[in-house]
Amino acid sequence: MHIGSIILSHPTVLAPLAGITDLPFRLVVKRLGCGMVCSEMISANGLVRGSQKTRAMLDTVAEEFPLSIQLFGADPAVMADAAAQAAACGAAVIDINFGCSVKKVVKTGAGAALMREPQRARAILRTVRMAVAAPVTIKIRSGWDASGDQALEIARIAEEEGVDGLCVHPRTATQGFSGKADWQLITRIKKALHIPVIGNGDIVGADDALSMMEQTRCDAVMVGRAAMGNPWIFGQIHRRLRAEPIIPVSLSDRQDLMIAYVRAVCGYRGESHGCRMLRSRLGWFSRGMRNGAAFREAIRHLETEAQAIDLIRSVL
């Protein structure tokens, strides 16, 4: 699959997840075969104002190429400036968020609010497209009602303005993650456009990804929440696309990945900060395991990297 000049090794994409898809987690997913990883949603205003905390969210390494950096904002000039900064820091793809329906984002005119302002959306896409040579994509929802008409309008504007691809999460802005994703909207948008379309929503396992691609003819699938507890899902999807059986994840494989993740988080965040984050994050990988509940209880007061590794080896 191509997104502009970027070639994806596999038609799978890690969704941008706030507070989750930082550099250590993206590397875990990339090493397990994901075609393209995405950053957390990053404030364009924060980058332009020089926030060091926001700037740190652009951290990347060559191993995770191609990285998509997702930006949100409502001012065309600010978005263009932020996109240029992201590209200079190593983003292979610039993604613009048109789907976040969190109140504090929408009230600034960003995220899903842009789906109600097609002319502002067009201005943002035009200025960003002019500011960077890297491929540009967008992520949209159905819009503010279930008809999908707003999604189709924004998708057509995006193609007209030279956007290289888009991702469709076919839930309305007011649904959040509730209800069922309307995959028919992905089909509708795919038929209307010539640029690549990535499908997103209700992919819990590899068979769901296969069904979405067969039903909608989308070019790739994006996986978000399901990857938190099962980062192996990307490799499992690739095997299903090749009509190969899925290989169960062994306990030793799970432990090895968790230990590597602990070391990566502590190395990147520092041991103290990293362990505070791992108190919740390590629990993702233990869902469904025989001693998972005991493990999640044991890590609630995690203090050191060595303690985390010992618990992984002794409790699970």
**Side-chain-facing half-sphere of 171: CA atoms under 13 Å:** 15
Q: Could you say which DSSP state residue 36 is in?
A: B
75, 58 contact by CB (below 8 A): no
The pLDDT of residue 235: 96
Mean pLDDT of 273-288: 93
The pLDDT of residue 287: 84
212, 197 contact by CB (below 8 A): no
Does residue 202 have a pLDDT over 90?
yes
The pLDDT of residue 177: 80
Does residue 229 have a pLDDT over 90?
no
CATH class of 2-241: alpha beta
Q: How confident is the model at residue 179 (pLDDT cuts 50, 70, 90)?
A: confident
3-class DSSP string for 98-136 = ECCCCHHHHCCCCHHHHHHCHHHHHHHHHHHHHHCCCCE
Q: How many Cβ atoms from other residues are within 10 Å of residue 242's Cβ?
A: 7
Phi, psi angle pair for 88, to nearest 5°: -65, -25
pLDDT in tens, 81-138: 999 999 999 999 999 999 999 999 999 999 999 999 999 999 999 999 999 999 999 9
- Give the chain's end-to-end CA distance (angstroms, integer): 38
Mean pLDDT of the chain: 96
81, 47 contact by CB (below 8 A): yes
Scanning the chain, the segments in alpha helix (DSSP H) are 23-31, 44-48, 52-56, 76-88, 103-106, 118-131, 149-160, 183-192, 206-216, 225-229, 233-241, 251-269, 271-284, 292-298, 305-315
Q: Give which of 60, 37, 28, 19 is closest to 263, Cα–Cα.
A: 28
Q: Give which of 60, 63, 68, 65 is closest to 89, Cα–Cα.
A: 60
Q: Is 100 a catalytic residue?
A: yes
Q: Amino acid letter at 180?
A: K
Q: How confident is the model at residue 212 (pLDDT cuts 50, 70, 90)?
A: very high
Q: Amino acid letter at 15?
A: A
pLDDT in tens, 299-311: 999 999 999 999 9
Query: Is residue 270 exposed (0-12), middle (13-18) or buried (19+ Cβ within 10 Å)?
Result: exposed
Does residue 31 have a pLDDT over 90?
yes
The pLDDT of residue 293: 93
**pTM of model > 0.85:** yes
The first and second tokens of residue 312, run together, are 């992984």
Please state, in angstroms and rounded to a whole number, the distance separating the CA atoms of residues 164 and 139: 12
Which member of 100, 167, 266, 275 is catalytic? 100
The pLDDT of residue 137: 98
Mean pLDDT of 253-268: 96
The pLDDT of residue 217: 98
Rg (CA), the chain: 19
The pLDDT of residue 43: 98
The first and second tokens of residue 310, run together, are 């010992």
Please state, in angstroms and rounded to a whole number, the distance separating the CA atoms of residues 20 and 115: 25
Does residue 289 have a pLDDT over 90?
no
The pLDDT of residue 288: 83
Mean pLDDT of 225-234: 94
Please state, in angstroms and rounded to a whole number, the distance separating the CA atoms of residues 62 and 160: 32
Please state, in angstroms and rounded to a whole number, the distance separating the CA atoms of residues 201 and 209: 10
The pLDDT of residue 35: 97
Q: How many Cβ atoms from other residues are within 10 Å of residue 314's Cβ?
A: 10
Does residue 178 have a pLDDT over 90?
no
